[in-house]
Amino acid sequence: MSLISYIKDTRAEMKHVTWPTRSQTINYTLLVIGLSFVTAIVLGVFDFIFSSGVEKIITQ
């Protein structure tokens, strides 16, 4: 397959793509940011709990 054929096929496939609307993109972006924030909090809490547990075990 030549490069020209590849580019033509790629352009044809891109015409079939359904792109998200602006509001969908904003909503999905906010969802990802929110879930990342919640995940960071949960991991931080578990890290604090496990660090405290290991520290208590070591200092005994």
Summarised one tens digit per residue, pLDDT across range 4-45 is 999 999 999 999 999 999 999 999 999 999 999 999 999 999
Residue 14 identity: M
In a domain, 10, yes or no: no
Q: With respect to residue 3, please indicate whether it lies within any of the assigned structural domains.
A: no
- Residue 35, both tokens: 């879930």
Domain assignment present for residue 43? The answer is yes
Token pair of 21 as six digits: 């609307």
pLDDT for position 11: 94
DSSP of the chain, one letter per residue? Answer: --HHHHHHHHHHHHTT--PPPHHHHHHHHHHHHHHHHHHHHHHHHHHHHHHHHHHHHHH-
Residue 1 has pLDDT above 90, yes or no: no
Decide if 15 is inside a domain.
no
Does the residue 34 lie in any domain? yes
Q: What's the token pair of residue 9?
A: 């096929």
pLDDT for 60: 82
Q: Which domain holds residue 46?
A: 20-60
Residue 53 lies in a domain: yes
Domain count, the chain: 1
